[in-house]
Amino acid sequence: MTDLITEQATAAASGAAATEQFRSKQRTENTSADTERVDTLVSELLAATHDIVRRHKVTYAEYDALKAWLIQVGEDGEWPLFLDVWIEHAVEEVAGESRKGSKGTIEGPYYIPGSPRFAAEASLPTRDGEQGTPLLFQGQVRAVDGTPLSGAVVEMWHADNDGLYSQFAPGLPEWNLRGTVVADARGNFKIHTIEPAPYQIPTDGSCGKLIEAAGWHAWRPAHLHLKVAAPGHQLITTQLYFQGGEHVGDDIATAVKPELILAPTPVADGQGREVTYDFVLDKA
Ligand code: DHB
Ligand code: FE
């Protein structure tokens, strides 16, 4: 049974789900295409590529290998994974550069809007006997001037103890380890969950092939994904990591920032660990 589940968690399956999820999000958002901007960005991207070809004397064999690989990324549905691992961190850096509040980082390909809503103290949905160290994640949502934000909403989603995300790997309940917690009138929230395992980029697809060919590793450190919002304030999309965890220092997605590393402590009179982390939101 376990073997069957592991076997079915393929790059093609999670890639197809991530591609479909992105398409459904894209349909509801406007994308503007300013001719001058497209001209500038695409021309510079092409010029940078030509420069690499000339400097490294790229051969026809290498050019054909690239062509075959690019075709395969599309067939595997792995464009969302590729872009979010190797490009998104730079886009996020630019997007967040003038913010004074809490740091954000990449969203990644596995966010699903509309997770079940809970009151200010909640447990994320889990299976009976969900594996992993219990974690109490609590804090307060405030404005930059320190005012507690009533009406704040904390959405959390993360991988399970096998590094798998619900709705992108088979055999997991639909909303496993995904929830939307409405903070109390003072912006306080308490979320009970389990600590996720490190996440490995699927090794059996085209991104896995690239990683192997380049002699890289395929790992992201264990992380909690969050979106934190409050009326009149800028939403932040972020991730939190665990001090001393594997790959905190060499995340393949380059999404770790020092401000995003948690140091949970053992729960005094219970099981597992707990940590307090406050979010500070900039005005909209
Ligand atoms: C990818 C997966 C993640 O869980 C994440 O947070 C970022 C990127 C990926 O496979 O592209
Ligand atoms: Fe992730």
Mutate to test the pocket of ligand 1, among 76, 81, 225, 260 (most ligand atoms within 8 A of CB): 81
What tokens were used for 247?
């790959």
Nearest protein CA to atom 1 of ligand 1, as residue:
108
Bin 77: left if φ > 0, else alpha if -120 < ψ < 50, else beta. Answer: left
CATH class of 1-284: mainly beta
Residue 253 CB–ligand 1 contact under 6 Å:
yes
Cα–Cα dist 180/54, whole Å: 51
Query: What pLDDT is attached to residue 109?
Result: 93
Query: What pLDDT is attached to residue 25?
Result: 80
Cα–Cα dist 189/151, whole Å: 11
Residue 78 CB neighbour total at 10 angstroms: 28
Query: What pLDDT is attached to residue 13?
Result: 84
Query: What pLDDT is attached to residue 29?
Result: 63
Question: Ligand 1, closest atom to CA 14?
Answer: 10
Surrounding ion ligand 2 within 5 Å at CB are 108
What residue spans define the domains of the chain? Answer: 1-284
Q: What is the pLDDT along the chain (284 residues), one digit of tens a residue?
A: 344 444 457 888 888 888 888 888 876 666 667 999 999 999 999 999 999 999 999 999 999 999 999 999 999 999 999 999 999 999 999 999 999 999 999 999 999 999 999 999 999 999 999 999 999 999 999 999 999 999 999 999 999 999 999 999 999 999 999 999 999 999 999 999 999 999 999 999 999 999 999 999 999 999 999 999 999 999 999 999 999 999 999 999 999 999 999 999 999 888 899 999 999 999 99
pTM: 0.92
Query: What pLDDT is attached to residue 181?
Result: 98
Query: What pLDDT is attached to residue 7?
Result: 44
Residue 110 CB–ligand 1 contact under 6 Å:
yes
- Answer for the pair 281, 233: CB distance below 8 angstroms, yes or no: yes
